[in-house]
Amino acid sequence: MSSEARRYVAFPRRRGDAAATEAIQALMPLGAPVAGSHAAPPAPAAARPLAREPVRTRERGGVDVARPRPPAQVEPASVTQARAQSGHRYSVGDRLRTVLAATRWELVFVLCAQVVLSARLFGMNTAFGDEALYLYAGRLEIAHWLHGAAIPAFPTYFSGAPVIYPPIAAMADSLGGLAAARAFSLVCMLGATIFLWAITSRLFERRAAFFAAGSWAVLGPTLHVASFATYDAFALLLIAAATWCVLHVGDDYDAASWMLAGGTVLALANAVLYSSVLYDPVVVALAFFGAFPRPGLKRALTRASMVAAQAALVGLLLLKLGGHEYTTGLGVTTLSRARGDNSVSAVVHSSWIWVGLLAAMAFAAWALSFLYRLNGGRRAMLLVFAVAVLLAPFEQARLHTLVSLNKHVDFGAWFAAAAVGYFAGGVAAWPRARLARGVTSAVLVGAFGILAIAGARQSTQMTTWPGAAKLVADVRPHTTKGAHFLAETDSVLEYYLPDTSWRQWSSTASITLPTGRVQNEKGAVKPYIQAIEHHYFSIVVLSFTSTPAIDARITKALRSNKSYRIIAKVPFSGAKHGYYTVWALEHHGTRRARHS
């Protein structure tokens, strides 16, 4: 069915409307039957077959109705013979017009808006601690592959496999700096938007796809993740691809290869970001309900079990190949993640600000499906889409932590956006008069414009961590003579000072020993005090942001040691105002000893 015809049958107000049927027949391609029409398609003439398009009719709510596929559309023999006799050739203009006619301009508009709103964030601040850590780790991983260089045990404390995303981002960083690494995240998020469009238009219709893609692309968390060089964007792209694999087959009986592909891609997403396993049940549930009303329960069980089994099998295989270090990292960062000290109300409040409206509209879409008499399979998928947006807030409320919540909620928002698209499309199609439908659609587009303004403001607020440009300039001259350095967030200085070695840097979470072993101090302060007494660190940088209690004890030890003095106080602003305090060892050549 053509896209023009779908506009009349996606969300009809009543069945059997004669005028609507005539309009549909006028817009339908040759040979395609119309719901409610008993006219048989004309017999195909002996001529060259055209490209075949699956034909489906739609009930209320945009539901696909299973009908026998019509014969392949054919071009009349007279037209084919005339073209052959005249030696017809498609000109460049013909091909260009064909491409322009097939372009989904609504999707292009959404993608352009997403690029503009995300790219403006690339240069707003220096690298965040996580960004610097992953990019620096990627450099070391590549050096290890090419030259066998020794590297830290990243798998034991990374929240994703350090051999997948970090090297890719590091290669982008080597080509265009931090902006290029962030641009890779934007490309991943654009891909996720395209998959969202494809899934929503497959399940419902193009108008719903426009509202789905538009509502998600301009969210504050979406814009933030698209301009942030971390695992999240790449993992979200893979989850979107896995969801598309399990849903685009529709009522086809032979879907085994796509289910296996979906399970494999889902396992790769889990390897990129361990916490993405939270959304595996969502993809499995969608594979199950995607088989209703046809091909039915038996096929639905087969599809869901294939996706789940393939994801588990590939995941276990990758974990086996990784070895004990990866198992340790999975446990520390995901399965046995430490609890924070944030209240449940704080987690719920932040989640509501970022995705609350989307969640409300997703559940409203499920309620609307009863009014439009959507079939059971599609209605269940709407509920799955809506529930998915609650998973990250519930999990982080259980852990009492706000860490990375602004990124994690975007995974569930991607699923919920499909339901939001159905809701907005249904509301737009509710009026009977064409003018009223146009006005309703315009109002909805305006509402999403307001959502874009709010998302742009939120994403800007998410980039207000302490900048490090002036700090790097002040510290650089003091790192040229070797020795060891302590920084509250050492990864940022490691990233911006590539002439230093990872063996020289320690943080307020761990101390790197001269042997290269990274010793996790687990919040203990005594090892740092002992290291300062032995003059192990020649430079100490504290900001009282991440570990203020430990910073206070270290500062007390530095003040009581006459060999250390303050050489710089670098102010910073953002969510917290303060300054970096830089301490330097004056007599590090006379009393310095090894720390063990």
DSSP string, 64-111: EE--PPPPPPB--HHHHHHHHHHT----HHHHHHHHHHH--HHHHHHH
Which pLDDT does position 587 carry in this prediction? 63
% of the chain exceeding 90 in pLDDT: 65
447 by Cβ neighbours in 10 Å (0-12 / 13-18 / 19+) ranks as: middle
Six-digit token pair at 14? 């009543």
Query: Crossing angle for the helix pair 231-247 and 256-272, nearest 10 degrees?
Result: 170
Instruction: Give the H or E element holding residue 487.
Output: strand 484-487
Same structural domain, 347 and 241: yes
Contact (Cβ atoms closer than 8 angstroms) between residue 199 and residue 248: yes
Examine residue 593 and state whether it is found in any structural domain, yes or no.
no
Asked if residue 35 has pLDDT above 50, the reply is no
Examine residue 88 and state whether it is found in any structural domain, yes or no.
no
Same structural domain, 452 and 357: yes
By C-alpha distance, which of 424, 432, 487 is closest to 451?
424
Contact (Cβ atoms closer than 8 angstroms) between residue 203 and residue 250: no
Contact (Cβ atoms closer than 8 angstroms) between residue 484 and residue 501: no
Which pLDDT does position 59 carry in this prediction? 44
* Boundaries of domain holding 454: 115-461
Alpha-carbon gap, residue 27 to 14, rounded angstroms: 19
User: Given the structure tokens 């569930």, which residue do they identify?
Assistant: 412
Domain count, the chain: 3
Six-digit token pair at 532? 């300062």
What mean pLDDT do residues 145-159 have? Answer: 93
Q: Are strands 537-542 and 518-520 parallel, antiparallel or unpaired?
A: unpaired
User: Given the structure tokens 């990784």, which residue do they identify?
Assistant: 322
Contact (Cβ atoms closer than 8 angstroms) between residue 564 and residue 540: yes
Examine residue 509 and state whether it is found in any structural domain, yes or no.
yes
User: Given the structure tokens 């989640």, which residue do they identify?
Assistant: 351
Alpha-carbon gap, residue 67 to 71, rounded angstroms: 12
The amino acid that residue 318 corresponds to is L
Same structural domain, 429 and 481: no
Same structural domain, 519 and 412: no
What mean pLDDT do residues 421-444 have? Answer: 86
Instruction: Give the H or E element holding residue 166.
Output: helix 165-203
User: Given the structure tokens 């710089």, which residue do they identify?
Assistant: 568
Same structural domain, 72 and 207: no
Give the distance, in angstroms, between the CA of residue 27 and the centroid of all CA atoms in the same chain: 38
Confidence of residue 26 (pLDDT cuts 50, 70, 90): very low
Alpha-carbon gap, residue 118 to 224, rounded angstroms: 7
Same structural domain, 562 and 490: yes
Contact (Cβ atoms closer than 8 angstroms) between residue 56 and residue 1: yes
Same structural domain, 312 and 450: yes
Higher-confidence position of 408 and 481: 408
Please state whether the peptide bond connecting residue 295 to the residue before it is cis, i.e. omega within 30 degrees of 0.
Answer: yes
Asked if residue 85 has pLDDT above 70, the reply is no
Query: Crossing angle for the helix pair 344-371 and 434-461, nearest 10 degrees?
Result: 170
User: Given the structure tokens 């740092």, which residue do they identify?
Assistant: 528
Contact (Cβ atoms closer than 8 angstroms) between residue 566 and residue 524: no
b/e map of 201-227 (b: 16 or more CB within 10 Å)?
Answer: bbbbbbbbbbbbbbbbbbbbbbbbbbb
Give the distance, in angstroms, between the CA of residue 428 and the centroid of all CA atoms in the same chain: 28
Asked if residue 17 has pLDDT above 90, the reply is no
Which pLDDT does position 302 carry in this prediction? 94
Select from 461, 491, 513 the last residue of a domain: 461
Which pLDDT does position 90 carry in this prediction? 55
Examine residue 591 and state whether it is found in any structural domain, yes or no.
no
Which neighbouring-strand residues pair with 540? 486, 583
Examine residue 100 and state whether it is found in any structural domain, yes or no.
no
Select from 433, 461, 489 the last residue of a domain: 461
Same structural domain, 302 and 220: yes
Examine residue 507 and state whether it is found in any structural domain, yes or no.
yes
Select from 461, 485, 517 the last residue of a domain: 461
Q: What share of the chain is helix, strand, coil (3-state, %, to 5)?
A: 60, 5, 30
Alpha-carbon gap, residue 235 to 198, rounded angstroms: 18
DSSP helix/strand/coil, 183: helix
CB under 8 Å to 418, separation ≥6 — which residues? 196, 199, 200, 203, 212, 385
Same structural domain, 419 and 338: yes
Give the distance, in angstroms, between the CA of residue 554 and the centroid of all CA atoms in the same chain: 39
Which pLDDT does position 373 carry in this prediction? 83
Mean pLDDT over all residues of the chain?
84
Same structural domain, 426 and 483: no
Examine residue 95 and state whether it is found in any structural domain, yes or no.
no
By C-alpha distance, which of 238, 219, 164 is closest to 457?
219
From residue 426, give the alpha-carbon distance in Å to each of 211, 374, 387, 422, 440.
11, 11, 20, 6, 11
Q: What is the CATH number of the domain that holds 575?
A: 3.40.190
Examine residue 254 and state whether it is found in any structural domain, yes or no.
yes
134 by Cβ neighbours in 10 Å (0-12 / 13-18 / 19+) ranks as: buried
Confidence of residue 47 (pLDDT cuts 50, 70, 90): very low
Same structural domain, 301 and 447: yes
Same structural domain, 163 and 215: yes
By C-alpha distance, which of 488, 484, 473 is closest to 535?
484
pLDDT tens across 184-224, in order? Answer: 999 999 999 999 999 999 999 899 999 999 999 999 999 99
| Rg, C-alpha atoms of the chain | 29
Asked if residue 54 has pLDDT above 60, the reply is no
Alpha-carbon gap, residue 345 to 321, rounded angstroms: 41
Asked if residue 495 has pLDDT above 80, the reply is yes
